[in-house]
Amino acid sequence: MADAQALRRALDDPDEQVRSEAAVGLAELGDTQALDALIRTIDDAPDPLHLDVTPSVRALGAYGPEAIPRLLDLLDAPEELTRLHAQRALELAVYRRHGFVAGQGFPTAEAEEAARDELGAGGYDYEAEPSSRRSAIQRLRARLGVDGPPAD
């Protein structure tokens, strides 16, 4: 099993693949710094066939409720790709709550519709103007039960 301290050091590696693997490794170890590491590497090493998906996007989608407020904050990040990655991770987290399994899809059409409703279909657009984005994020916070202002 990889040493957590070595993985933390690897988060500063110049190679994005190494950084992303280190963050995912920390998450697999249940390390206390894992969530920070995944957020920090959310843009690293995207799949060339799906640039909206990175190893940290997948791990954040499976991380659990603790990741949701952090992802909501990132939906208003300055970088468009970061916003897209945060959106995908948040979607994955919600899909999983409705029974989504990779390679199987949703168990029913109703389950997919419920996931779409929870995310507020069409409500958030990572390419939208900041004011429109922020309104959508506020609605998402309410819908997902995450109160309070964004973290600093």
Partner 1 sequence: MRADADEAREDSAGREIAAAHPVLGLQRTIGNRAVARLLAGRVLQRDLKGDHKIRNGTFTLDLETQKNKGAKSGLRGTIKFKPNDAAPDSTRIRLYQALRFEDLATGKDYVWTGTYEGRTKSQTVADPMRPGLEPGWGIDFDPTTAKPRTKLADPAVSPYYRSWWPNAASSQDGSKKGKAISEASLWDYPGWDRNMRFSFETVARADDTGFVYGTIAWGFTISDAANGIVDHEYASGRNVTTQTTDEALKRFDEYMRNPGASTAPTT
Q: Which residues bind partner 1 (CB under 8 A)?
A: 46-53, 55, 58, 91, 95, 100, 102-106, 109, 112, 115-116, 119, 121-122, 124
Under 8 Å between Cβ of 59 and 90:
no
Sequence-distant (6+) residues with CB within 8 A of 79 are 43
Phi and psi at 125, nearest 5°, equal -135, 115
Nearer to partner 1, 4 or 81 (CB): 81
Whichever of 108 and 151 has its CB closer to partner 1, that residue is 108
Which residues partner with 47 through β-bridges? 50
Q: How far is the CB of 55 from partner 1 (least distance, A)?
A: 7
65/105 with CB nearer partner 1: 105
CB-CB neighbours of 6 under 10 Å: 10
